[in-house]
Amino acid sequence: MLRDVLFVMGGGAVGSALRYLTGMMLPSAAGTFPWPTFVVNVIGSFILGVIATAATHHDVLSRQQALLLGTGLCGGFTTFSTFSVESVALLEQHRPDLAALYVGTTLICTLGAAWLGIVAARALTT
């Protein structure tokens, strides 16, 4: 149990640092499209699709590897809460057009990325 928590913590620390660095490389001003959050959520969805499929359907990853990479790394890297707050902030900044674009593209692209990750893992593990 404690070992599992340590795997999640280690992955989460790396994922959070990567998310922070992504924000530094893709700065975003208030009232504009939140590219950093969009990018990490799309990339994270793809990676988690690969990890979940490899771990649960093909036994390519051990439980600890799945915890480190899936729950930890992807959990620390991606952020639904920031996506939610940024969406509301765009509405409060009287940018319903940009908020709708952000919500719609995020949902479509993250779902598509997860699906591509699942397909990629299946192709690589069969």
Q: Is the pLDDT of residue 59 over 90?
A: no
Rounded mean pLDDT of 15-19?
Answer: 98
Residue 126 has pLDDT above 80, yes or no: no
**Per-residue pLDDT, 57:** 80
More confident residue, 12 or 60: 12
Burial 64-74 (b: 16+ CB within 10 A, else e): eebbbbbbbbb
Phi, psi of 26, rounded to the nearest 5 degrees:
-125, 70
pLDDT one-digit tens code per residue, 81-103: 999 999 999 999 999 999 999 99
